[in-house]
Structure 1
C-alpha cells in the first residue's frame, strides 16, 4: 500500500547569501521520517518499506538517499540498522524488517550523521513511502510463498521529526536546539489498515535472461537477510542443483551468484 510522503533535510532554514542579518538566524534543520507500526496479527510478519524519491534535475548527491541516509528500527530495546538497498538507481530504495506478533516498532529513515558536521549542508530529499508484505522464500518447496492467505491488519502512524541546530554547529554549541514533530497524512485516510500479501512464485531458471537477473538478485537478498547461515548455504546449493544446464542459462546463473550479496 502507498503509505505517505516523506522529506529528509539537513540544510539552513533560509538561503545564506552573505546577508549577516539572515545568516545570524538561518539555523540548520535536521529532519527525518518516523513510522510507528503495530502488528495486530498472532504471527510474526516480515514487511518491506520502499522509498521512492523525486528524481533531481541533474546528478546531485544532495538529492539522493545513496550514502546519505540510514534505516533503523527498534521495538523495545536497542536500535537495529536495516540495509537500505538501492533497487532503481536514484529512484527506489528499500529495506525489510521482521515485526513479531502483537508488537509495535518505530522505523526511522534518518539523514546520515556525517551530514551534520558539513559546514554548509544542502541535503534535501523528498518522495513517498510504500509498505508491502512480501512473499518469502521457502527452502523446502523452493519457491517464494505468501506469508498469509488473507490481508493482515496493522496500525500505522507516520511522522516527521526534526531538530534545529545553531548556524555554526558543530563548532557553535550554544543557542537554541528546538524540535519539530508533526504527523503525516496516511494515503488510506486511517490508522488501521490491511496489507495484502504478495503472491507467491516459483524460481524457473529455464526462463532466466539478463534482463531479470538484477530483479531476482534483489529479491533474494531481501528474502535471505533474516535466514540462518546454514539456510543461506542450503539455498545456494539448491539454486545450483536446480539451475538449467544449458550454456546460456549457466552463464546467467553464474552472473547471478557472482552478484548476489548474501547478508551476513
Structure 2
C-alpha cells in the first residue's frame, strides 16, 4: 500500500500507420489514438480525490496540443492540468463512493492543423496518487487502462465514410486491476527517519526534519526554504505546518 502507484504506459498518436515514403501499396491510413483510464472507487462511504500524472520525455508533452476529459455522470467534462511543464501534466479528479469514472487524454483533433500534419507521437507513463495526502484513510480502486483509436479514410477529409476503430487493454504496472492507495500517517515522535515519499514532497523541509529530529527551529513564512529563526522543541508543530502548507497548495491547484 502506498500513496501513489504507476498505472501503465500510454501512447498518443495522429500518425500514418505506414510512412508515406514506404507506402508502396498505397495502403497507409492515419490513426488518431488516445489514452483511456477507467477508475472505480470501491469504497462505500468516502469519495476519492486523485491526481492523474502523465510523464513523457521524447517527444515531450508540449510537442503537440492535447485535450483531457473526465466522465462520471455521462458527459465528458474538459479538464485543464493542475500542474504542467514540458515533461509532466497532472490532472485532478474526484470519484464518488461506489462509482466509476473514465479519464481520457488525446491529441487535440479539434484543430484541423493537427490532423492535417499527422505528426503527433507522444509516449510515456501514467501515475495515480491521492490528492489528499495526509489522513488515515485507504482507498481500494479498480484500474483499466486502454488505448482507443480511429483510422481516418485514406483521402480524408474528401472521403469521410471509411472510418474504423480499434481498442485494446494495456497491462498495468502491478499486473492486476485492483490497487490500494493509503494516506500518510505520521509515526510517534520523535521521528528518527522519514520515508522517501515524504522527502519527495518537500525535500528541503524534510531534510531538516530528518537531520534534526529532537530540536528544530522554524520560521513559518520561510518554511519551504529551510530558514531557521525560532527555536521549538516540537516536531509535531513543524509537521502540522507542513500538512497545512501542502493542503493549501492542493486546494489552490484544484480550484484553478
> Considering the TM-score relative to the shorter chain, is it more than 0.5?
yes
1:60-84 deviations in whole A, cap 9, x for unaligned? Answer: xxx5346611111111222111212
Q: Report the TM-score, using the length of structure 1 for normalisation.
A: 0.67
- For residues 36 and 55 of structure 1, the distance between their equivalents in structure 2, rounded to whole angstroms, comes to 26
SS at match of 1:207: helix
- For residues 69 and 75 of structure 1, the distance between their equivalents in structure 2, rounded to whole angstroms, comes to 21
Partner of 1:36: 38
Does structure 2 conserve the Cα–Cα contact (< 8 Å) formed by 1:65 and 1:125?
A: no
- For residues 122 and 246 of structure 2, the distance between their equivalents in structure 1, rounded to whole angstroms, comes to 23
Partner of 1:4: 8
Deviation, 1:182, is: 0.6
Deviation, 1:160, is: 0.5
SS at match of 2:151: strand
Q: Report the TM-score, using the length of structure 2 for normalisation.
A: 0.69
- For residues 150 and 98 of structure 2, the distance between their equivalents in structure 1, rounded to whole angstroms, comes to 31
Does structure 2 conserve the Cα–Cα contact (< 8 Å) formed by 1:132 and 1:197?
A: no
Distance 1:128 1:218, change over 3 A: farther
- For residues 42 and 99 of structure 2, the distance between their equivalents in structure 1, rounded to whole angstroms, comes to 8
Does structure 1 conserve the Cα–Cα contact (< 8 Å) formed by 2:48 and 2:97?
A: yes
- For residues 219 and 43 of structure 1, the distance between their equivalents in structure 2, rounded to whole angstroms, comes to 18
Partner of 1:180: 166
Structure 1 alignment gaps of length 5 or more: 57-62, 136-144, 210-216, 228-262
1:130 aligns with 2:127: yes
Partner of 2:214: none
Partner of 2:209: none
SS at match of 1:119: helix
1:167 aligns with 2:154: yes
Deviation, 1:151, is: 2.5
Q: 1:25 aligns with which of 21, 24, 27?
A: 27
1:202-222 deviations in whole A, cap 9, x for unaligned? Answer: 99322244xxxxxxx998565
Structure 2 alignment gaps of length 5 or more: 187-200, 206-218, 226-244
Q: 1:149 aligns with which of 124, 136, 143?
A: 136
Distance 1:5 1:218, change over 3 A: farther
Matches of residues 1-264 of structure 1 in structure 2 within 5 Å?
A: 1-17=5-21, 21-22=24-25, 24-41=26-43, 42-56=45-59, 63-65=60-62, 68-87=65-84, 89-117=85-113, 118-135=115-132, 146=134, 148-174=135-161, 176-197=162-183, 204-209=220-225, 222-224=250-252, 226=254, 263=256
Distance 1:116 1:49, change over 3 A: same
Partner of 1:247: none
Partner of 1:214: none
Does structure 2 conserve the Cα–Cα contact (< 8 Å) formed by 1:10 and 1:116?
A: no
SS at match of 1:34: strand
Deviation, 1:33, is: 0.4
Deviation, 1:40, is: 1.0
- For residues 3 and 92 of structure 1, the distance between their equivalents in structure 2, rounded to whole angstroms, comes to 15
Poorly superposed stretches of 4+, deviation over 4 Å:
198-203, 217-222
